[in-house]
Structure 1
Amino acid sequence: MLKILTADDHAVVRAGVRQILSESKDMRGVVEAETGAEAVRQAALGHFDVILLDVSLPDKNGLEVLKMLRQQNPDQAVLMLSMHPEEQYAIRALKAGARGYLTKESAPAELVSAVRKVSKGGRYISLAMAEKLAFYLDQDQQLMPHQLLSDREYQVMLMIAGGKTVSEIADELGLSVKTISTNRVRAMQKMAMRHNAEFTYYAVKEGLVS
């Protein structure tokens, strides 16, 4: 019987996940966490076969939480379950130690299958993502500009590319405008860019945003 922890700041999503998993006889309970800090605390208190983790949490970036969970327990199975397309975060999540990446648009049966697979030590990614990952691994070691960014810088870059202002990003992530501005400047310096429009052009060209 599998014990699951789901970390997501949306109560409706957590309820939906709990309902889907509770219909499977081999899932014995789903514990919920609304923030990254709560997820780390819950994971420290008890063993979970799988932790379902969103990328966007109100207090911390999901990738930061993933690293904290892995430091706490290197063998912890974490499956990223996010609204963000695979192209945006899947490779980063897998490199950070996630066992798989699934979008919230996936069918309920796919979620159950993914949970079972990663609980047994396997990895779960879509066929399309497997092809992208193979292409990524076949490339030489020269990193693309966006791969030079920290997780937070990358998140800010994507949100700016998606049309959000610094103030809007600060509100959404619960961070100060100064922090977001600093990450924006660092991202621009690392990517040798000067304007927000360059973020947008690059992200669209590389398929990071639609």
Structure 2
Amino acid sequence: MIKVVIADDHPFIREGIKKVVNGKMDLEIIGEAENGDELLAMLEEKTPDILVLDITMPGQSGLELMKHLNDLYPKLPVLVLSIHSEERFAIRALKAGAYGYLTKTSISDELIKAIRKITRENRKYITPEVAEQLASQVDVSKEGALHEELSDREFEVLCMIASGNDVNEIADELSLSPQTIHTYRRRIKEKMNISSNVEMTRYAMENNLIE
């Protein structure tokens, strides 16, 4: 029996995953969490075979949490299930230690297929879309794209600003203070030599970072 833990702050997403997973004889959901703190507390008591993790959660982001989990539970494979397209976060998730990256449109047989491959074969699950992103990394210049210089949280804020969210909306979504978001925005501008939100949006559009 493959034991699964879900970490996602959206109840309807967790219900969707449970509905798909619980219909399989060889899979069992043994726990669910809606944020990083709940997940870490749960893992002290339960030992899953795989963690299905949302990449955007309140407080500590999924990418930050994954790096922490790699230190605490290096043998626990993590499958990222995100609302964001592969262009935005897949490569960062894999670099952070994820065994696979699926979008939330894949809460179906694709999810089951990924869970089984990762746990039974101890191999990463790479979709054609993620493979395309990996290939594009090979083609970029040595200097790389400007957004590659950003931290995971800075990149997340960049994408949210470029998508039209204001500072207060981003702060609420990420459970951070508006002042913290202002700090991230300032760092983004400095690192990317960008002077305005309009320039951020233009850059994000040119680099397929807006969905």
RMSD: 1.2
Q: Aligned residue for 2:21?
A: 21
The answer as to 2:64 corresponding to 1:64 is yes
1:43 and 1:130 map into 2 onto residues whose CA distance is: 31
1:107 and 1:64 map into 2 onto residues whose CA distance is: 23
Q: How far is 1:41 from its partner?
A: 2.0
User: What letter corresponds to residue 148 of structure 1 in structure 2?
Assistant: E
- For this pair of structures, how many residues does the alignment match? 210
Q: Aligned residue for 2:45?
A: 45
Q: Aligned residue for 1:12?
A: 12
Larger mean Cα displacement after TM superposition, 26-35 or 147-156: 26-35
User: How do residues 112-131 of structure 1 correspond to structure 2 at under 5 angstroms?
Assistant: 112-120=112-120, 121-131=122-132
Deviations along 1:39-94, one digit per CA (max 9) or x if unpaired, are 12222322111100001112221101111111101121000001111111000000
Q: Please say if residues 43 and 69 of structure 1, whose CA atoms lie closer than 8 Å, have aligned partners that are also in contact.
A: no
For structure 2, the 5+ residue unaligned runs are: none
Q: Aligned residue for 1:98?
A: 98
Q: Aligned residue for 2:195?
A: 194
- The normalised TM-score by structure 1 is 0.96
2:159 and 2:185 map into 1 onto residues whose CA distance is: 10
CA distance 1:111–1:197, shift in 2 (3 Å): same
2:116 and 2:40 map into 1 onto residues whose CA distance is: 22
2:33 and 2:126 map into 1 onto residues whose CA distance is: 24
Deviations along 1:109-143, one digit per CA (max 9) or x if unpaired, are 00100111111311112212202202213444322
CA distance 1:43–1:138, shift in 2 (3 Å): farther
2:88 and 2:205 map into 1 onto residues whose CA distance is: 11
The answer as to 2:176 corresponding to 1:184 is no
Q: How far is 1:107 from its partner?
A: 4.9
Q: Aligned residue for 1:33?
A: 33
1:205 and 1:140 map into 2 onto residues whose CA distance is: 16
1:149 and 1:29 map into 2 onto residues whose CA distance is: 35
CA distance 1:111–1:202, shift in 2 (3 Å): same
User: What letter corresponds to residue 171 of structure 1 in structure 2?
Assistant: D
For structure 1, the 5+ residue unaligned runs are: none
The answer as to 2:109 corresponding to 1:109 is yes
Question: What secondary structure is seen at the aligned counterpart in 2 of 1:105?
Answer: helix
User: What letter corresponds to residue 75 of structure 1 in structure 2?
Assistant: K
